[in-house]
Structure 1
Amino acid sequence: MLEFLNPALFPFLWLAAIPIAIHLLNLTRRRRVQWAAMEFLLESQRKNRAFVWLRQLLLLLLRMAAIAILVLIFARMVFLNDLTLLQGNQTHHMVILDDSFSMSAQDSRSETPFLRAQQAIVRLGQRAADEGGNHRFTLLRTSQTQPDFLEKLVQVNFAQELQQRLEEISVSSLSSGPESALEQALEWLPTQKQDQKILYLVSDFRSKDWEDTQRITALLREFEQEKTKLVLIQCEGAPPANLSLSSLRSVSRTLVADVPLFLEVAVTNFSQDPQTDVELLIYEDNTLRPGSRIDLIPPGETRTKRFQVRIPTAGNHTVRVELPNDSISLDNARETVLQLPLAIKTLLIDSSPDGRNARYVQSALDPGGNTKTGNTTQIELPGFLNSNDLSEFQVIYLTNVGQLDPPAIEQLEDFVKAGGGLGIFLDGQSKAEFINTQLYRNGEGFFPAPLSEPSKTLMDQLQERFPFGITPVLQRRWEELMLAQDENLPDVQRSVHPIFESFAEERNSLLDLVRIDHLWRLDPEWEAGVNNRTTVAAEGRIPEITVFDPNAENPIQWTSRYVPLVLDRPFGDGRVVSVMSSASTVWNNWARNPSYVLMLLEMQSYLAAPTEGTITRQVGQPLVVEWDAAEFFPELDIERFQEGALENSVELAGEAANDEGDRLGVRYDSTFDPGIYSVALRPIDGSERSLKTFAYNVNPTEGNLQTVSSTQLATIMEGITYTFTRAGAFRGSDADGGDIKLYDLLLYWLVILLLLEQTFAYFQSYHPPATAGVEGVS
């Protein structure tokens, strides 16, 4: 049975009549002129008329056939082998349909790869129904674990049923590759060896889905081993331009109501042309506010833009950024949730009655007056930790604390494990034995590292050599000598860490003016690393005398080295940051330096437990919630909002989350659409509902519309037998490979016809003999 893959070009066969039209036009333009000498030629023509007419007719037919064949080549004529689909006991058609949201990319004609995929699958179903015989049909989408059809018997009206089902489904919001669907299809693969099995992978074949080629090709080889024919159907042409909102995050680590917050949005240009004047629409709690603009985004690159918001009230708030419409709409919007408390409540512990050390910290975090930092502080003695509830605080600082009672240690450990932040400043009141045995405990406690002893100044080291003291004159002389050897290195050397991020771009950092007289040195056998999860955020310089000879011309030689000054360690769900020097000016002059305030504010932001809503979540990730069974009812409500409108709501019953049964939990897997998911718990005491809010966004890399070429696919599929075709050219018969592509053969026939036409035209035309030279001409 003949069929055309480009049937729209078939009507152009009338172009084969052009040679006849040209021949008739040439006849009408001739003018008869009587000439006596022509009578001899006309007589010769009458004798050879039949032969000349035959050659002219053949030439005309050759020209008409060449035009007709050219049209048939462009119409892509094929001969459908109707017998191959009837081979075997049954024919199983297994179709994997890519429904990731890149399949929704619209081209200039507003057509999408998903539409082309639907049309190709319908043609396959129609072909199977028209052929008759025993056909089974399985349809599985890459975003689903259950098929739309599973070994469904193909009957006469199957094509209509298939089309209706395909019209009911749409592109998902997920970024799902073919691996999981291929694994599912392998499980459903029929085991009868006599059956014919054909797997159709219908996709846009985006490059990102074929990065892990080893896993995909291993699965396809398993199909090949099961005698399954592979048909790859690509549904995309040239990739259209697309902009994607790749991230939206808070760059202000202190998230507090009525304090300016900075957010950063990133936009990626997934196209081959630069994009200019990209407008950003910004919504706060679904209210449009003044937007922003990105001047230029080069092709294939990402540009960021920061903007400021100030939300006056505490609670859960949403910020949404949108891009203008382009080829894909799903990646043009991104949301985040800001869970803003009235303030970050901070507890300062100081063993001195006047709280001198704690007040240095308080003056930086909570200066009062018109200056709003989002922090409130409370100074207490160490005994406060023994029995008071610490859960109302987000951050606790220990300053000038030499000893803690066992209940206080246990409370602090529980506080940090639950997500709280703990800052520790050490000074002369600190005791190495207590910290090592009670707070560090061989790495099981919350303190980051074991201590050795405090560092000593150069004069302290000299005085140890003279137990009876040093005369003032000699002390001044030696101080001058030591000062002359100073290399003018900074006493504080920062590392790449969030606490010191604000100092990273300073050329002449204020930290260079900080002087550290004393700091606690660590046990020399201890080393920061992956095993103890402790990192060094900053180092402090300590001096060491290398040569001392009072009788020499230069009696003192010394050098310096850097040792850990600020340590950071995660503990449970919280963090512990320890500064090896004092919070006051006893061991350093840091508290008199402006960098002290900035460092403490960054340290406070780092220690404050991140709220759940600021964590980036992608659609498809499960939503897991746990709660105290004694405080809340076992049921909860989950609601999804899109642009402020309620889309759907579900009530779920909690299940035991631990062996004791005092905590309940729910795992909600139906997070397939972007938006704001609100979880509401009802307290048993009848108070107001407790709300937790989560922002779910699409995977921005799915907006990269770059596809795998047929050449790249051939390299990836090396050693695997498969058929590759475009969705527009697929007619449901490419699977068996028995169809004859006549347009390839016609190309050779066209070349032969053109050679014959030129040969006939040469012999049919008149060619005068070559002219001989004239004799006698010199």
Structure 2
Amino acid sequence: MELFLNPWSMILGGILISSPIIIHLINRMRYKRVRWAAMEFLLKSQKRSKRKLIIEQLILLLLRILLVLLLGLLLARFLGFKSLGGSEAQSTLHIVVLDDTPSMDDSWREDGLAKDTFSEAKRLITDKISKDIMQAPTPQYLEIIRLSDLENPRDFSRLNSGSLDDMRGYLNPLKPSPFSIPLTEGLKRAKKIFDDTPRMRHVLHVVSDFRQVDWGAGAEKNLTDVFTEVKAGTDIYLLDAAHPERSEKQKTPLYHDNIAILDLRADTRITAKFAPVEFTVTVANFSTSEKKNVRISSRLNGSERAEGSVNIPSLPPNELTTARFTLSLDRVGTEENPLDRFNLVSAHLENEQAGLAMDNVRYTVVEVRDKVPLLLVDNNPASRGKRESETFHLQKLFMDSIKGFDVQLKTPAELENLNLQPYIGVFVCDVPRLSDKAVTNLETYVKSGGGVAFFMGPSIKPNDIKEFYNAKLWNEGKGLFPAPLDDQPEGFSLPDAEREKKRFERRFSFQPQIFTRDDRHPALERLYTDSRGVRVNPEEFNRFLLFVVIDRYFKVRRAAWNTQDQSVKELMTLPNFQTMDKYSAAVNKLMSRLPKDDEKLSKYRDVLRKYYDEIRGIANDPSAPLYRLSSKLDSLLHDDGDKETNRPSLRELWQQPEQAELARDLQVELDVVKYGDPLYVAKQIGNGRVLAFMSSAGVSWNDLEGPGLTYFALITIEMQRYLGSAGTDLNLPLGRNFEFAFDAQSYSNRAKKWLLWQDLKSGTGPNPIPELAKFTALGEQVLTTNKDKNILNFDEAKQPGVYVFEFTEQRVGGAGKEPILRPDYRALAYNIDARAESDLKRADTTEIESIAKGAKLYTASSDEYSEALRLRRSDLSESPWFYLVLLLVLIFEQFMAVRLSFHGGSNDNPTGKPLGRRVPNSHAA
């Protein structure tokens, strides 16, 4: 019965197969033997060909039986013997992997109605997938797996009208989740369920928007590997729910424009009450067209702040644009309400017509205190407050010039047991050594989001460099300090009188005394931008560096320094003060490669010859300073020419592919000649930041009583701002794990948690009543103890907002006293992963099907998909070969029938004489 679509027709056909045999037997019974002479003669003649006739009659009989059999197979619609395996009769388990990541919130308007991709995906599951598979001839079971809830698939058992109503009731209230979950995780979960049901037929449906971000950009291999694992014994269907519906005529599917807020960060994580805090918002335009007059509004603790609104005149297509706004925060925590110190700041993208609504809001947090604690660590408490102190100028800057700081001075020994978490930053000045416990305390502070700056100084001796800074603090690049140092400081070979003479000569040589290497680094970029974040002429700040002479410092050992480490950046560099003879040979060799005599470059000949003569003249003069050579090499590479005098641009020359190698070698030599020793270096460690200034923060090695005072104040303010903003750039997406680690002896093993959030609908409607941000208690969590650390791993952020943690610091009390317990708070802002979800560009169909090998991508209107879901099975009646065989059998049957009929040929009469009437035995048959 499993072999045919119409089995009863085949049973009837099987009965009819016997009809030719019955007719043949009946016809044999019609004749009665009558012996007479003529007949005897005929019988004797017939006996000679009887065997041949019997065989031919049997062939004819078999052909007619075969004809009836073929007709029966045609009417019964024979499926083939592969069905004997029983797979067609098996119950089928359908698993629908429903993509409910933020990109499925893509919305648009159609015929005046608001629609979104996720609603369309839910409709396709109920009205297309479920309804079609219910028409299959065998039992059909269905489970739905949401990417945001992999551990709780919804089982609807065997599908019928009742389960379809349950499915609608389950899907209707669902909304896209704020989580970004890879599709591979859903596929792995489906495979596990399939592995647990080996006796059922397996069908996998993936309902998604199939975006380029998910199916490209390095995700191809992982997807292919997982699809290959799932494919074994599983039919896979991919259903695209996105709008507009993809078409076979379009190579690249259309998609909706979308604007998203990718980032919002404050310039500090802790600020003083009423102090202005600058916020930077980054907006991305994921479309092919420019967007104009985009308005960003801001809210502070749920209430809109007009002064924080900013209008972006233009968003170029497929680019990031930053804007800045400033707010003054005044909500400070009290003993009764300590959590109030955390202020929730949000940026809102307004009036977007289509795309995602979920990425139009971004959160960050700023902690407000009456005064911000700042820690200065020096090695000489006796000189504190005096001009010769290495912390004097720092203390004066942050206490007198900049208000709002609570500057505290400590010794290196006090770092061992000091809780560093409350401090906005730590400045370590002229400290020869730290104990292992103090170093560990600093490392823990930095990794958890703190910032440390190191200044060198006269107290640091060669042994301190060898045994502490290089061996422990740098530790082959694995420690806090960003670079290895030479153990002998520079600038002590000259007597004081000659040193002052050299300083005077350098100060008025009008060459830069400090070079900025990365003016876009966060520790320096504000020096090169205005209050709106727009880049200004670099010379506005660089002019301060013309007269600053730093001639005493520790050199970085470049040969041992891993410059490929992306966590380390060289921010400022001193000039190269070596003698000319070290570079003459290399420069002359480069000049010999100038194409000054190339006929193809005749228009550049005069300019190149001029530079050739000038550079060789400087390089062969032993008394010439290196800055003259570097200046001329820089001009050679960047000469823009002069249209009025028809002098050609050398920039165009170096852009030619034939000159690329020479241009690269010239640039390398320029850097070697121009730049000397690193002065200012940054390093990122975990969530925190480290800065190292190779000279001192005091007057002993620095020019802080002269021109250096201006530049020092500007750089130090940005240094503190950079250290204070450590942790604000975490950009944590929902679900991401964050680890807190504490000294087990100094902290208890429990933490309390709260969520600081706001209702996005508050402040809207005809009578808006803004609702302040709310705290929701999330309970208590036990920390894991690992050796001497108490560790909290937090991965439970399910809703955008700020998560606040209270840890308990426990310090040893006096003799016979209980430990001193003090709360310590941390806050983390969590948002949707806009970088992964907001680009709505869609992957090509061919690309998707090549990655998901063996699967086919369907659209909402695909009839082919519906037929496949109904388990329509092909049968023998659809094969052209079947009809060809049927025709051949019919022709052969007719041929044999004619041959054995009354119209026999001459071969039937071997004598050649008339034999009279022939009596066939099987004519009727």
Same-fold call, TM cutoff 0.5: yes
Change (3 A) 1:120 1:276: same
Q: Which residue of 2 aligns with 1:431?
A: 461
Q: How many residues align?
A: 634
- 8 Å CA contact 2:507, 2:546 repeated in 1: no
Q: For 2:95 and 2:577, locate their aligned partners in 1 and report how far apart those are by CA, in whole Å.
A: 75
After superposition, residues 159-558 of structure 1 pair within 5 angstroms as 159-189=164-194, 195-211=200-216, 212-237=219-244, 239-251=255-267, 255-290=271-306, 291-314=309-332, 315-325=341-351, 326-327=353-354, 328-341=356-369, 342-349=371-378, 351=380, 353-355=382-384, 356=386, 361-364=391-394, 366-367=396-397, 371-379=401-409, 393-399=423-429, 403=432, 410-411=437-438, 413-419=440-446, 421-441=451-471, 443-444=474-475, 447=481, 448-456=483-491, 488-496=510-518, 497-504=521-528, 505-507=537-539, 509=542, 510-523=544-557, 526-529=560-563, 535-541=569-575, 543-544=577-578
CA distance in 1, matches of 2:746, 2:489: 48
Measured at CA, do residues 727 and 187 of structure 1 come closer, stay the same or move farther in structure 2, by a change above 3 Å? farther
Aligned to 2:98: 97
- The match for 1:13 is none
What SS does the aligned partner of 1:189 have?
Answer: helix
- Offset of residue 562 of structure 1: 0.8
Where is the helix percentage greater, Structure 1 or Structure 2? 2
Write the distance in 2 (CA, Å) between the matches of 1:455 and 1:174.
54
Gaps of 5+ in 1: 1-80, 465-474, 549-553, 741-778
Are 2:375 and 2:410, in contact at CA under 8 Å, matched by a contact in 1? no
Q: Which has the higher strand share?
A: 1
Q: Which moved more, 1:618-627 or 1:89-98?
A: 618-627
Alpha-carbon distance, 1:169 to partner: 2.6
Give the C-alpha shift of residue 517 in structure 1. 2.7
Query: Against the structure 1 CA distance between its residues 311 and 96, is the aligned structure 2 distance closer, same or farther, given a 3 Å change threshold?
Result: same
Residue 112 of structure 1: CA displacement?
1.9
Verify the 8 A CA contact 1:113 1:204 in the aligned structure 2.
yes
1:110 aligns to what SS in structure 2?
Answer: strand
Superposed displacement of residue 179, structure 1: 1.5
Structure 1 position 424, deviation (Å): 3.6
The verdict on how the C-alpha distance between 1:523 and 1:214 changes in structure 2, with shifts beyond 3 A counting, is closer
Q: 1:421, 1:607 within 8 Å by CA — same for their partners in 2?
A: yes
Residues 442-461 of structure 1 deviation map (CA, whole Å, 9 limit, x = unaligned): 64475542333233489659
2-structure distance, mates of 1:681, 1:462: 57
CA distance in 1, matches of 2:120, 2:366: 41
CA spacing shift, 1:269–1:493, aligned 2, 3 Å: closer
2:765 equivalent in structure 1? none
For 1:111, give the aligned amino acid.
K
Equivalent-residue separation in structure 1 for 2:493 and 2:485 (angstroms): 24
Distance in 2, Cα, partners of 1:546 & 1:726: 74
Amino acid paired to 1:306: R
Bigger shift: residues 358-367 or 436-445: 358-367
Describe the superposition over 1:627-666 as per-residue Cα deviations: whole angstroms up to 9, x where unpaired.
6687657463444533345596432441433246x73635
Query: What percent identity do the matched residue pairs reach?
Result: 18
Counterparts of 2:822 and 2:412, CA distance in 1: 35
| Contact 1:540-1:563 within 8 A present in 2 as well | yes
- Which whole-Å CA distance do the structure 2 matches of 1:137 and 1:251 have between them? 51
Specify the alignment match of 1:73 in structure 2: none
Distance 2:564 2:622 in 1: 43
Give the whole-Å Cα distance in 1 for the aligned partners of 2:506 and 2:726: 48
Kept after mapping to 1: 8 A contact 2:569/2:682: yes
Cα 1:725–1:287 shift into 2, 3 Å:
closer
Of 789, 798, 802, 1:672 maps to 798
Q: Which amino acid aligns with 2:524?
A: F
Give, as a single letter, the amino acid of the residue that structure 2 aligns with 1:411: A
- Name the CA distance, whole Å, in 2 between partners of 1:352 and 1:634: 37
Which residue number in structure 1 is paired with residue 54 of structure 2? none
Match of residue 75 from structure 1: none
Deviates more, 1:588-597 or 1:724-733: 724-733
Structure 1 residues 312-369: Cα deviation after superposition (integer angstroms, max 9, x where no partner): 3442111111123543321121111112342132224253844445667544554478
TM-score (norm 2): 0.60
RMSD over aligned Cα atoms: 4.4
- Report if aligned partners of 2:279, 2:324 keep a CA contact under 8 Å in 1: yes
Aligned amino acid, residue 658 of structure 1:
N
SS, match of residue 305 in structure 1: strand
The equivalent position to 1:566 in structure 2, one of 680, 684, 695, is 680
Task: Give 1:265's aligned amino acid.
Answer: V
Q: Which of 143, 150, 153 lines up with 1:145 in the alignment? A: 150
Partner Cα distance (1:387, 1:653) in 2:
25
Larger radius of gyration: 2
State the Cα deviation string for residues 411-431 of structure 1 (Å, max 9, x = none): 355234423544443344431
Alpha-carbon distance in 2 for matches of 1:446, 1:625: 18
Q: After alignment, is 493-502 or 199-208 more displaced?
A: 493-502
SS state at 1:604 partner: helix
Residues 551-609 of structure 1: CA deviation (Å, up to 9, x unaligned): xxx99677586112234456787655333333334444255331110111122233447
Residue number among 760, 779, 784 corresponding to 1:656 in the alignment: 784
CA contact (8 A) 1:574 1:609 kept: no
Residue number in structure 1 paired with 2:20: none
Q: Output aligned runs, 1:575-614, within 5 Å.
A: 575-592=689-706, 593=708, 594-608=710-724, 610=726
- For structure 2, the residue ranges without an aligned partner over 5 or more in a row are 1-76, 245-253, 333-340, 529-536, 583-620, 628-674, 760-771, 811-818, 875-925
Say if 2:204 and 2:234, in contact at 8 Å, map to a contact too: no
Find the aligned partners of 2:538 and 2:831 in 1 and give their Cα distance: 36
Q: Please say if residues 98 and 142 of structure 1, whose CA atoms lie closer than 8 Å, have aligned partners that are also in contact.
A: yes
Per the TM alignment, residue 243 of structure 1 is displaced from its structure 2 partner at its CA by 2.4
Q: Which residue of 2 aligns with 1:757?
A: none
Q: What's the offset of the Cα at 1:210?
A: 1.2
Cα distance per residue 1:422-441 (max 9 Å; x no partner): 44433444311223223432
Which residue identity lines up with residue 706 of structure 1 in the other structure?
K
Contact 1:245 1:332 in 2 (8 A): yes
Query: 2:210 aligns to what SS in structure 1?
Result: coil
Instruction: Write the distance in 2 (CA, Å) between the matches of 1:639 and 1:253.
Output: 18
Counterpart secondary structure, 1:418: helix
